[in-house]
Every structure is written in C-alpha cells, then in structure tokens.
Structure 1
Amino acid sequence: MSKGKTYSVQITGLSQGGVFQPHEQLDYDSEWRTRLGDAYANNVEARVICLCRGQNEDLTLRRLVVRYLKDSDRFSLSAWRYSGGQHWQDCRFYSVWADEASAKAYSSSVVTVNGDGTFSITLPVGLSRQNGTSGTPSDVNPASHLRTGKQKPSMSLLGLGHFIWQQSEINTWKPHYVKNRPRSAMWLASRIDSMAQNIRISRLTLSDVLLVSASSDGAQKQKNQMRVRYATENKKRMVAIALLKADATDGYAALQQGHLTLSSPIGFPKLNVSPNVFRACERSFQSELNAWKAGHKVVAVLETEPPTLRFQKIKGRNIPITEAEVIGIALIRVTPRFIPVDSGYEEIIETRLCEQERCFVKPLRFDAEEDTFPDFVLTDVGGKEFVPMEVFGMNTECYAARREVKTEFYNREYGADGWWSWDATLKDAEDSIPPFPEKAS
C-alpha cells in the first residue's frame, strides 16, 4: 500500500469526522490519529471513504478498513477486499485484482497497468497476424487454460470475460441499480464496449476489434460494421462478447452444424465454427451449454480469425457475405442481472439476495486454480468488510472432501459465525435456506 498517490479521506458516521487532506494523514497528527481510533472502535457505525474519485452519496463505495498495528502503536488504512478496482489507478488503494488467488494465476507481464490508466493484456492468440500468416497454434485453446499449478503466461478468453466483468463491476450488485438503470442486453453491450476502450491487446485497443450486441437503429450497429471493415482490411482478429441466441434449440443445432448464433448480432460477420472448436467448447463448458439448453442466459466470449469477404450468387445476384472463423469460445452462465453463476443453486441465492435488497459481489475465478473462492460475498453487514457465502451443491465423495477443506478454511479465517453456507443437497433444501447475515442499518 505504500505505492500510489494519497488522496483525501472522509470519515462519517461518528459524532466527529470530516475530510482529511493528504498532508493531514500523518501518524504524528493527533487529530488524524484520534479520528482513526474512533473509527476503529466504532467500526459498525463509522465509514472511512477514499475520495480519489470525489465524494459520492453511496457510502459503500471505496470504503477503507482501519487497522491497529500493535507493534508500532499506529493505525493504518487499506482497501476493503473486492473493492480495489473502484479506486483511480494512481490511488494507493487501487488494485487490478480483487484477491491474491487471481493475481497469482498469471505471470506479472500478462496484465499491466499503463501510464494512462489503460490495461495491456496478453492472450494465447494475439489479435494481429504476424507477417500476414494465419494459423492458430494447434496446441493452444484461447478459451481456457489447463490446470498446471503454474502461473499462466497469458489470459484465456474466459479470463478476459471475467476481467471485463470485474473492472466494469458487472459482478457487483446494489439495490439502487434497479432504480437507476435496469440491466438489459443493450446495457451489457454498452458497459462492455466502454470498458474495451481501456484494454489493449497486441498493441490494439480492444474496442477497435470488438463486437457486441446492437439494435437495428442504434450507434452500436455502425460501430460493429466499421470494426468489421477495419479488421477485414487490416487482417486483425476480432473478439465478440454477447449472449447466446435465446432460442437454444435452433442455436445449438446451428452450432453443431458449424454456425454460431448470438443475441442481436447486428453488424456481425457470419460466425463459422469448426468441429475442433465445437468439441473444445463442449469439453470445457458442458455445464454452460446445458444451462443454455435449459433456458438460462449464457454469454459467449469468442475470438475469430480476421473476417473475409466473399460473394455468393443468390437469385441471380452476387451477394457480398462477410464471415469469420471462430478460433475459441468461452461461456459464462449469468442471471437476469448478468451476475455470473456456476449453478442453478447459486442463481437461487443470487435471486434471494436481490429480492432482499442486499449488496454483494460475485468473486470471479479468472484462470486461478484456488478452490476456496466463496460463491458470493455480502458487503453490507455492519462492522465487517464482507461475509463469505458458500453454496454446497453436490453430494459426491470427492466433493465432500473439498467441502471439508473449505469449511476448515472458512472457520480458521473468519470464525464459525463469520461466514454463511447453504447445503443445497438436503431434501426440500430451497424451503430451508438459512437467513442471511443481518444487514447494517
């Protein structure tokens, strides 16, 4: 935390608080020390907020934790876990990663923060052809990484999707989101497109070659068309992020026949899928494909070879057809609010949390192999940074062993009463979901 710029800090919820400028945040400043001590002693009522992005009525944003360091007899501040991305990139509390496990998944060069606040990301297959050559390495699957136990030298398409979701805070939920702007497919497209302007891959800004869902009369349609022309003329690979077609019966049949259909693909090229890519998708994302066929929302993150233009004679006329070969597909199951979930049980809990107007984050795995990721974390429990939430949804011998490891970990890290769980394998489990930890007043 020593790196980065120090911004003003606001303390609220106490009889005496106020705003402290950077030059006032000194260990030997008696006023600063007293107020931090008050906040530490009254951590349920107190709110300590970083003002790197200015003041905001939402006092859950950019909250800071006050800690007392007994050995040096001083107080220190740190960002609440899962909130580092809310700060400006030059702020001392900023973090690319929400947790250590995600950061450890990659070598240090896979994601870097540039001086202008943008990100540079390394994918297994870059967006530019080298010397005009084609060819995706036969041993590289852009969608997902094998579990090797080593730091990955690149980020998979699934990791890229998780990175965009986290940086855009799509995996975060607060009750006022419903009132401010309901989440729709077009909202998602706008959010992703905006974030893509801050990501560079193969020296390209991702938004230059990104395709997202569009309406037939909106600005995004023109953006998609312009990007396809650019990629075609300059031999650039493309990335598309959109919901799979709602009609899974037709959509899955088309996928088996070599064509990928997405939701509102206005301005997209025709997306062709080889048998090898389809089989790789089935191996890595069978659960998501099953959820799609069962009627749930699933987002596809895919990479294509540079689009090509050909002409096909239809009813005596030469019709131009732009198409692109898909080289990798990653799938993310999401709720109606586009919160990623790994199972139907998780979706039940996500729905209950939203119905009860709770604030929470869905931690994302990226390409990490750590098994102790909580399924959700509540961020509105008084006096606590967060409360981990775990959904136990399987009843196999292997899973039972994993469950025991997780239980021991949570009890050790947070105490037996410091985390929440639901055993979804019990009879009539949905009728006996434990109450959520009490919400702060």
Structure 2
Amino acid sequence: MATAAPEPGEAVEHAGRRAAYLVGGKRLEAGTAAFAEAIAAAHAAHQRPRCLCLVGGVEMYVARLAGLGDGYVVKRMPDTGSHHAPDCTSYEPPPEVSGLGQVLRSAITEDPVTGETTLKLDFAMLKVAGRSKMPTAGSDSDSVASSGTKLSLRGLLHYLWDQAELTRWQPGFAGKRTWGTVRRHLLQAAENKIARGDALRARLFIPEVFAVDQRDAINARRMSQWSQAIAPPGKPQHLMLLIAEVKEIVPARYGFKALVKHVPDQAFALDEKLYRRLGRRFEPALALWGAADDIHMVMIATFSVAAAGIPTIVELSLMPVTRQWLPVEDASEKQLVEKLVGDGRSFIKGLRYNLGAANALASATLTDCEGAAPLLFILPIGVEDDWRYLQVSEPLAPVWLWHPSSEAMPPLPQAACLRTVGACQHADSKRTPKNALLANK
C-alpha cells in the first residue's frame, strides 16, 4: 500500500513482525517491493491473496486506494476478522462481543469487488434551518438507531477509530501515538468509504498538527476544504464532519464556542440549546475528563460554514480517550486500560458503536495469550447473573470478569511469554469461578 509522507509532529507506529501472504503462489511479506508489485498484479487479475497467520491461510482481497497515491492494500474479507490468529494484524474480536455486530451488513456494507464500503448514517449531512440536534437526557447514546440499521455519530466515530487501528495496542507503540499519527490513520481509514452518496474523506476535517511557522499555509488548506460547505444562495448547505480534540467549550460574547486543539485561530460556534443539552447528555464523559488530567476528549461533529468562514456545530458526540488515544467509557475502563498498558500487554479495546449501556461489551480482547484470545468484561452495577448478562454475546473465547463495585481487579490472564505451554489459565487458580478466567460452555 502506498502511503503519504509523515506530517510534522507525527510518529510512526510499528506493529512488530510483518504480515505474510500467499500471493500468486508465492509467500511474500507485507511492506516489501515484491509484495507491492504482487498485490497490484493480483488486483488486476482479480486474485485473492491468503493471510498466512494460520496453517492453510485465510482468504483476503486487494483494494485500490486512489487517495493514497494509487496504492493497493490487502484487506480482510467481510466478517472474517475473528478467523485470523489473535496476534495477526488482520485479527479483530468476534463482532458479537462489541457494537460492531449490530451494524455489520446493515449500516456497514463492504464490497470486496470495488473495495468500497457504504455507510448508512442516521444524522443529516445537509443543514436544516433552525435545528440543532442532540439526544434527550437519559438516552444511552447519541442519535442511536436501536435497530442498528444506521450509524449514529458515535457509531461512525467508533467505526473509524476501529478501522484506523487506534483501538489496538502493543508495547512497541509507547511514545509513538501522537495527534499526527491519529490524524493520519483516521484519514486513511476514511478512504473508499461512501456515506449518503459522497466520499466520506472529502467531507471529513481533522485538524493537522499546528506549527506557527506554517500558520498561513495550514489556514489556507483548511479554508479550501471548508469552502465546499458554504452554501450558494438558494441551495442546500452541505455539512462537514469534524473529528478533533476538544480544548474547551465555553460561553462566547454571543452564544457559546468550542475550541479544539491545533486550530488556534478559529472557534466553532454552537447555540445555547445545544450547549445545555451537551452538559446533560455527556455528563459522565465530561466528569471523567474533568477529574483526570491524562484524559483527552475527542469530539465528532457535523458543522456548517457561513459565508464569512465561521463554522457552526449542528450535532456532536464526545469520546474520552487515554493518553494513548484508547477510548474509555468510565473510570473502571480507564483503570483496566492503564493496567494493560502498564503491564506491557497487547490488546484490542472494545467499542460500543450504537449499543446502549445495558448491552454486554468486551472492554478489551487480549492478543498476547496462547490459543483463543481472552475477552475482558467489566460488569456494571446491578448485574448479579454473569452469564445471563453475557448471553447476549455468546463469546466462544475464554472470558475474564470483573465486578468493580464489589471487588478489586482480579489477576489478568498471563501473556504467552510468561506462561508454560498449555491452556490459557488464570494466574490464581484458587479464586472463585466468578472472578476466574472462564471457558464459556
């Protein structure tokens, strides 16, 4: 896959060993010149490479990424992420243990022939005069379509975060995941995604790393992109999508404004109604952000641009993330993620997409254990029957459970390098089954 040059301030993540594929009858490692030539030829010949993470391989397909220098990339076949080895870069947890399972094939449709993914959105990308949308207080998530047939704003943010592999963590990533890296991966993830008939990438604004000596050039590129959201007289106004780190949301001289990092010269306006609903709807996320100095707050929003160049937010959602840009829902998830990172573990952070808070969600999946990848569940207050709660997901892998309201965090499943060869077992075999690493029946 061809890639663009890194931006100033951007780190480059390395995922360890290179993936190997069977392409045209030859075993090739990703990232080599021979591999790039082989997958280009495979695309032209409509051939399917095989990922060699397991004996016999797992079928893949080649997609052309026109937005990345006419490069090519090997991608998973739809719904096959859990078929790969846990330590493979193509592995993803079973969709039924995250919010992804609810929206696959309905809100998210991937075409292996064209390499394009069509996204169905439940929020507007055209401005409706006099209307600012925000979920009512007490709803589980913003703009949620409970049937899963369309992506809410939060669902779209979670999807892009997953596609950008920003939910993955390995010890080698430490110190390398900067905003420049986050931006680059998100933009690549948006390539070949179609939403409401348009290319998602063209409508997506993610602030580039700000540098004082490049201020004029950065502002010019921003206004060039925003120009498509300025409505000609008498015509509908297209909305842009913003993904950025929030600096603060405060009263302005007139109304309210959101200040985002790396855009020091321009605030985003929002009206009082939206501001008031924001405080009610996202109270837990805002409380976590306010209480922990090492939490970043990521915002996804639709916004319009006035003829004078002033952006106004129409609809938004918020997502707290750790200093490693790993999403967390609450203090318990933050504690778990910090433990995993501190212990040097490799894992994939689970995301809720459109799912409500009452639905079971694997907070993380460990990818450094032998055999099946253990699923880590944090059980909410009030849940007494572990398996009745987890029955929604029907996990096929070992399961670790934690009741943070009534116990300290149980020992985590040991990494392969710390254990003898054999079945993945809990470090403390004398604990009760409630807190042990459980093999689902």
- Please list the CA deviations of residues 159-191 of structure 1 after superposition, one character each: whole Å capped at 9, or x if unmatched: 01001011111111122223xx71112221222
After TM superposition, the structure 1 = structure 2 runs for residues 196-215 of structure 1, keeping only pairs within 5 Å, are: 196-214=190-208, 215=210
Alignment of 1:155 with 2:140, yes or no, is: no
Letter of the structure 2 residue corresponding to residue 440 of structure 1:
A
Q: CA distance change for structure 1 residues 108 and 408 in 2, over 3 Å: closer, same or farther?
A: closer
Q: Offset of 1:409 from its aligned partner? A: 7.3
TM-score (norm 2): 0.65
Q: Offset of 1:254 from its aligned partner? A: 5.4
Alignment of 1:420 with 2:403, yes or no, is: no
Alignment of 1:381 with 2:369, yes or no, is: yes
After TM superposition, the structure 1 = structure 2 runs for residues 241-390 of structure 1, keeping only pairs within 5 Å, are: 241-245=243-247, 248=248, 251-253=249-251, 257-265=255-263, 270-294=267-291, 295=293, 296-304=295-303, 306-310=304-308, 322-369=309-356, 371-384=359-372, 386-390=373-377
Letter of the structure 1 residue corresponding to residue 297 of structure 2:
V
Could you say what secondary structure the match of 1:260 adopts?
strand
Report the Cα distance in structure 2 between the residues aligned to 1:255 and 1:96, rounded to whole angstroms.
Answer: 48
Q: 1:231 matched to which residue of 2?
A: 229
TM-score (norm 1): 0.65
Could you say what secondary structure the match of 2:273 adopts?
helix
Q: 1:68 matched to which residue of 2?
A: none
Checking the alignment, whether the CA contact within 8 Å between 2:99 and 2:361 is kept in structure 1 is no
Could you say what secondary structure the match of 1:261 adopts?
strand
Could you say what secondary structure the match of 2:115 adopts?
coil
Checking the alignment, whether the CA contact within 8 Å between 1:213 and 1:265 is kept in structure 2 is yes
Q: 1:90 matched to which residue of 2?
A: none
Larger radius of gyration: 1
Letter of the structure 2 residue corresponding to residue 419 of structure 1:
V
- The structure carrying a bigger helix percent of its residues is 1
Q: 1:240 matched to which residue of 2?
A: 242
Q: 1:169 matched to which residue of 2?
A: 165
Letter of the structure 2 residue corresponding to residue 378 of structure 1:
L
Report the Cα distance in structure 1 between the residues aligned to 2:81 and 2:298, rounded to whole angstroms.
Answer: 38
Report the Cα distance in structure 1 between the residues aligned to 2:160 and 2:114, rounded to whole angstroms.
Answer: 18
Q: Offset of 1:347 from its aligned partner? A: 1.3
Q: Offset of 1:392 from its aligned partner? A: 4.1
Q: Offset of 1:352 from its aligned partner? A: 1.6
Q: 2:412 matched to which residue of 1?
A: 436
Q: CA distance change for structure 1 residues 426 and 97 in 2, over 3 Å: closer, same or farther?
A: closer
- Structure 2 unaligned blocks of 5 or more: 1-21, 28-51, 63-73, 418-441
Alignment of 1:127 with 2:125, yes or no, is: yes
Checking the alignment, whether the CA contact within 8 Å between 1:362 and 1:375 is kept in structure 2 is yes
Checking the alignment, whether the CA contact within 8 Å between 2:133 and 2:314 is kept in structure 1 is no
RMSD: 4.3
Letter of the structure 2 residue corresponding to residue 406 of structure 1:
Y
Report the Cα distance in structure 1 between the residues aligned to 2:94 and 2:254, rounded to whole angstroms.
Answer: 37
Checking the alignment, whether the CA contact within 8 Å between 2:250 and 2:257 is kept in structure 1 is no
Q: CA distance change for structure 1 residues 123 and 220 in 2, over 3 Å: closer, same or farther?
A: farther
Alignment of 1:86 with 2:74, yes or no, is: no
- Structure 1 unaligned blocks of 5 or more: 1-5, 11-38, 40-44, 55-60, 65-75, 88-94, 311-321
Checking the alignment, whether the CA contact within 8 Å between 1:291 and 1:298 is kept in structure 2 is no
Could you say what secondary structure the match of 1:342 adopts?
coil
Q: Structure 1 vs Structure 2: percent identity of aligned residues?
A: 17
